[in-house]
Amino acid sequence: MKKLILVNLLATLNIFAIDISMDNIDNIILGMDKSELSVDKLSYGAGMGQIYNGMGGNVHLATKTNMRYISLGCTEFSKGDHKHRENVCGLGAGYIRTDILPTYLPKFFSDTDKHGVGASFSIMSNSYTDKADLLFAYGYTYFTEGISNRGWNFGISPTYQYSKSLDDKIGIIMNIGYQF
């Protein structure tokens, strides 16, 4: 079952493949055109969901059609004495594109910079087991003012959490946050 879910996630990430040629080698190395690099594109956000690594924040580099980010946050908090308390916090990285849905479903997604599809990978530290868990998520995010602008975002992401010491978890995380 674990292998099937991981293969399914990797197949989904095929959407984000880049064609390699000598003409766009700068795009591959930098991840964007040189003309798109500017200080005002580097920003941060806070909230809960896929792009915030649970409940937390992110630092991101956004262009007109994509966002690359690193995030720091927690997915689980629990009460109890120190022997039975489980807090799952960690660091993640992800990528969101807004040009996929308008390209394939233009009738439903005409706002080209507001509808994002993305994937993320996180390494989470589990305080109960003292082991690292891996969290994979991919999902949809709606940016009210566009991906590269300040504003609220909402979305939904299916998740898969792999744990060596506990049972694996499959779930859905709701996204709500603000990008500054």
Reported as a single tens digit per residue, the pLDDT across 82-125 is 666 677 889 999 999 999 988 888 888 877 789 999 999 999 88
* Distance (Å, whole) CA 88 – CA 125: 5
Flag whether pLDDT at 36 surpasses 60: no
Reported as a single tens digit per residue, the pLDDT across 58-71 is 999 999 899 999 99
- pLDDT tier at 77, thresholds 50, 70, 90: confident
The pLDDT of residue 135: 87
What average pLDDT does the segment 143-163 reach?
92
Structure tokens at 112: 């080209």
* Mean pLDDT for the chain overall: 78
50: burial class by Cβ within 10 Å (0-12, 13-18, 19+)? buried
Reported as a single tens digit per residue, the pLDDT across 124-135 is 887 767 778 888
Flag whether pLDDT at 80 surpasses 70: no
30: alpha, beta or left? (left if phi > 0; alpha if psi -120 to 50): alpha
* Pairing outcome for strands 42-49 and 54-62: antiparallel
Reported as a single tens digit per residue, the pLDDT across 111-121 is 778 999 999 99
- pLDDT tier at 45, thresholds 50, 70, 90: very high
The pLDDT of residue 39: 42
